[in-house]
Amino acid sequence: MDHKDLIVVLDFGSQYSQLIARRVRELGVYSELHPFNISIEDLRALRPSGIILSGGPSSVYARNAPHPSPEIYALGVPVLGICYGLQVIAHQLGGKVDSSARHEYGPAKLIVERPADILRGFRPGAAHAAQVWMSHGDALTKLPKGFSTLAHSSNSRFCVIRDPVRKIFGVQFHPEVAHTPRGINVLKNFIFTICRCHPGWDAGSFIEASIARIRKTVGGGTVLCAVSGGVDSTVLAVLLQRAVGARLHCIHIDNGLMRKDESSQLVRLYRERFKFNFHHIDAGNVFLKKLKGISEPEQKRKIIGETFIRIFEKEARAIGGAGFLAQGTLYPDVIESVSYRGPSHTIKTHHNVGGLPRNMKFELIEPFRELFKDEVRRVGIALDIEPFILKRHPFPGPGLAVRIIGDITKEKLELLRSADAIFNEEIRSAGLYETVWQAFAVLLPVQTVGVMGDQRTYENVIALRAVTSVDGMTADWAQFTPTFLSKVSGRIVNEVRGVNRVVYDISSKPPSTIEWE
Ligand code: XMP
C-alpha cells in the first residue's frame, strides 16, 4: 500500500500482532503486519518509518525460535520490541535473556525511572506507577551494549529499555491491549516522536491508495468479484467499481446455502442500487449434489470452495479476458485460516482463504487483507454505502452448510431457514439487531422426545446462537432476556414443522468459535 508513512509490524506469533497494527492505524498512521522472516530487501522496499517486533509464544533460545534478520537494526529505522520482541532484540544485540526467571502474567505496575523517549509524558517514581499487562515467561537479565533502562516492574528489572543512538526500544509489557490503559501513549511516542510519522491514514486515504494500487495491478484487465451480499464483498465491489468502472464484473453464485429470500434481495440491490455489471448464477443444485452425504466440516468447506471457484472459472471464460479475482478477505479470516505470516495456529479453513484450489487461474486482489470488519465498515461509509448494508451481520461463505451439523439435505435447509428467519425477525423487531455481531440458528443432528397436543413427538433440536463482538476474533454470547428467548422458542416450535426443542448457546469465543462448524 502506498502511504507516506508506514509502520511495519513483524509477527512473531502473538495473538495480539494484528492488534498492534490496528492500534497504529487508529492513530492515523498506516500499518501492516509482515512475517518475522521477511527478507531485508523486501523490508527495505516497504520504506517503513518504524518497525515494531510483536510478542510471541517462543523462547529466544528454543530451537527454531523465530529470529528476524539482524540487519533490521542497521537500517536506520527506529525499532520497538514488544515482549518477545524486546527479548529477541536483547538476544541478538548481546544482552541476556533468562528462561528460569519468574513468570509474569496479568496486571503489573510499571515504575518509570526516566520519562524520556517512548515514556515521554509518564510520571516517574513508585507513587505514579502505571498499570501494564504482562505475559512472559523469560525475562531480560542483562542489557545489550548501548542500552539503558527507562522503567522497571517488581518482576522485571528491565521493563522498558532504549538505545537512543540506534533508536531501538523495547517494552516487556503489552502496550496494545486495553489492560494497559496508557499503552497508547507509548505507541504514540514511538510513532510520532521517534519515527516522526504524521497522521494521515483514514478511510478516505485508504480508498485513494487502494484505487491507485488496483489500477496499477489490473492495468487494462478485467476484474471479477464474487458478491455475497455481505458487507465485505459489497464494499469491495463498490471500491472496485470506482477503480476500474465497467471492467468490473460482479458475480453472485447462489450456492443454495443462503438464508431465506436472501438471494432475490441481493439481485435487486446489485442490479438496481449499484448498477453493477451483474451476473447471477443459480447453482444450488450443483452444490447440494456435491455435498450429498458429507458431514465433516472441513470437507464441506473444501467442496464448497472448490465448486465455487470452478463455477467462477466457467463464468469468467464466458465473460472473457478476466485475469483478476477480487476477494473481500479480512484479517481475521487470514489469521484463523493459514499460518501465512507468523507462527500462529490454524483453527478453521475459511473458504475464501485456505480452501482455494491450488491450480486457480486468477490473480487475487484482496485490498482488505489487513483490515478488521469495523475498518471495512468505515471504508463503506466513506464510499457512501447505506447503513442498512454496512450494518448487516456477517455470514460465512459456506453459509448454512456449516450451520447444519451433519449432512445437508434440501429438507434440512428449509427447516433451518424457517427457524433462522423467525429468530432474526424477532431480533429486528425487538430493536436488537445492531446490538449483536451475529445471530443465527443451527440445526443439530439429534432428535429428542417432546409432547405436542398430547402426542409424543421425536423431532429436531434447533440451537440459537447470538454473540457480541468487536471483530469476530473474540466473542461473548448475547444476554437476551428470558422473555425474548421464550418468545423466539415458542414461535419456532409452533411455526417450524419438525422442531420440538430450542436451546440457546451460552459459550464464548474462545474457547468455542462463533459458528458451530
Ligand atoms: P468462527 O466460527 O471461526 O467465525 O468464530 C468467525 C467469523 O467468521 C465467519 N466464518 C466464516 N466466514 N467462511 C467465511 O467466509 C467460513 O468458512 C467461515 N467460518 C466462519 C463467522 O460467521 C464469524 O463471523
- Ligand 1 binding pocket mutation candidate from 348, 372, 403 (most atoms within 8 A of CB): 348
In angstroms, the Cα distances linking 344 to 13, 86, 142, 278, 337 are 5, 19, 29, 38, 10
CA distance 494 to 187: 55
What average pLDDT does range 120-139 have in this prediction? 92
What average pLDDT does range 397-412 have in this prediction? 97
181-185, 305-309, 451-455: range with highest mean pLDDT: 181-185
345 has catalytic annotation: no
| pLDDT recorded at residue 349 | 54
CA distance 428 to 469: 18
What average pLDDT does range 376-405 have in this prediction? 94
- Taken in order 332, 333, 336, 341, the sign of the CA dihedral is negative
**Per-residue pLDDT for 333 more than 70?**
no
pLDDT digits 0-9 by tens, 62-117: 888 999 999 999 999 999 999 999 999 999 999 999 876 677 888 899 999 999 99
| pLDDT recorded at residue 467 | 97
| pLDDT recorded at residue 335 | 58
- How many Cβ atoms sit within 10 Å of the Cβ of residue 254? 19
pLDDT digits 0-9 by tens, 144-163: 999 999 999 988 899 999 99
Task: Indicate the helix (H) or strand (E) that contains 107.
Answer: strand 104-112
Q: Residue 509, class by beta-carbon neighbours within 10 Å (0-12 exposed, 13-18 middle, 19+ buried)?
A: middle
Tell how strand 499-504 and strand 455-468 pair up. Answer: parallel
Q: Please, which pLDDT band fits residue 342 given cuts at 50, 70 and 90?
A: very low
**Residue 493: which of 441, 445, 431 has the closest Cα?**
441
Hey, what's the cell of 413?
435447509
Hey, what's the cell of 298?
472441513
Distance 516 CA to ligand 1 centre (A): 10
Say which range, 100-109, 262-271, 336-345, has the weakest mean pLDDT.
336-345
Q: Please, which pLDDT band fits residue 126 given cuts at 50, 70 and 90?
A: very high
| pLDDT recorded at residue 106 | 86
176 has catalytic annotation: yes
195 has catalytic annotation: no
**Per-residue pLDDT for 165 more than 90?**
yes
| pLDDT recorded at residue 345 | 45
- Taken in order 442, 448, 454, 455, the sign of the CA dihedral is positive
Q: Please identify which of the residues 32, 104, 176, 315 carries the catalytic annotation.
A: 176
- How many Cβ atoms sit within 10 Å of the Cβ of residue 296? 12
Question: Using a 6 Å cutoff on CB, does residue 515 contact ligand 1?
Answer: yes
Tell how strand 455-468 and strand 438-452 pair up. Answer: antiparallel
CA distance 329 to 371: 9
- How many helices (H) does the chain have, and how many strands (E)? 14, 20
pLDDT digits 0-9 by tens, 417-443: 999 999 999 999 999 999 999 999 999
Q: Please, which pLDDT band fits residue 270 given cuts at 50, 70 and 90?
A: very high
